């Protein structure tokens, strides 16, 4: 998939936040992109199927460069749906980490790692499929072009609402920041509603969707 850098949106922000340095604008665009992906769940990714390893419970997510996991929409092992547990629930339901069996649950440990429970045994081959909600990392320079194209105006409003609130700057404008905050809220609410209905302009599950590193 093609990638578009955040700096391609600077021209939409700079005339409004006049005098703001470009690196600051890009930082706020990236922060707005992260927050927008979190709120709308628009950026969805299907991890190519892979086999679990016997006696191994913890795994690293395989995601495109410059992205990290925000949510696990679905997890399947041999086409059986896994329960999604919090770490506390996982420790309560599966206190004995030495017990091995067919996995029945998944627990997200961090943005980079997850655990399957019980720990897989060697009695069968366990093929896993994951459907994830992604967001850019704090160091990403861009994101998937299809997703960014859909979220472009929302991200711009999000960046402007925060930039215009920076105190004691030449471009501070509380009234204009309030306007962009309202537009951002309306945009994220509409995209989230569309995502909940499965009616997104962006691809629902995009294989090897690349974010900027």
Instruction: Please give the average per-residue pLDDT across 56-82, as a whole number.
Output: 94
Q: Closest Cα to residue 151, out of 20, 47, 2, 4?
A: 4
Within 10 A of 179 (CB to CB), how many other CB atoms are there?
14
Looking at every residue in the chain, the average pLDDT score rounds to 90
Omega within 30 of 0 (cis) for the link into 118: yes
Neighbour order of strands in the sheet with 67-77: 44-51, 127-136, 67-77, 80-81
Greatest mean pLDDT among 30-34, 100-104, 199-203 lies in: 30-34
Q: What is the pLDDT of residue 198?
A: 64
What are the pLDDT digits (tens) for 172-207? 999 999 999 999 999 999 999 988 776 544 444 444
Say yes or no to pLDDT of 142 above 50.
Answer: yes
- Burial class from Cβ neighbours inside 10 Å (0-12, 13-18, 19+) for residue 192 reads middle
Q: What is the pLDDT of residue 203?
A: 43
């Amino acid at each position: 998939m093609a990638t578009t850098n955040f700096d391609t949106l600077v021209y939409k922000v700079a005339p409004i936040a006049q005098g703001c340095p470009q690196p600051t604008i890009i930082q706020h665009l990236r922060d707005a992109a992260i927050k927008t992906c979190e709120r709308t769940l628009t950026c969805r990714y299907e991890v190519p199927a892979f086999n679990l390893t016997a006696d191994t419970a913890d795994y690293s997510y395989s995601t495109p460069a410059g992205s990290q996991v925000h949510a696990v929409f679905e997890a399947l092992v041999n086409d059986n749906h896994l329960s999604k547990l919090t770490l506390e629930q996982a420790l309560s339901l599966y206190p004995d980490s030495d017990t091995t069996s067919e996995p029945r649950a998944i627990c997200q440990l961090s943005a980079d790692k997850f655990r399957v429970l019980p720990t897989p045994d060697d009695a069968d081959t366990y093929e896993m499929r994951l459907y994830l909600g992604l967001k850019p990392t704090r160091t990403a320079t861009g994101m998937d072009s299809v997703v960014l194209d859909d979220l472009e105006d929302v991200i711009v409003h999000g960046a402007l609402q925060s930039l215009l609130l920076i105190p004691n700057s030449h471009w501070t404008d509380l009234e204009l920041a309030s306007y962009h905050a309202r537009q951002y809220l309306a945009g994220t609410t509409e995209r989230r509603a569309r995502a909940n209905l499965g009616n997104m302009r962006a691809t629902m599950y995009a294989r090897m969707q690349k974010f900027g590193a």
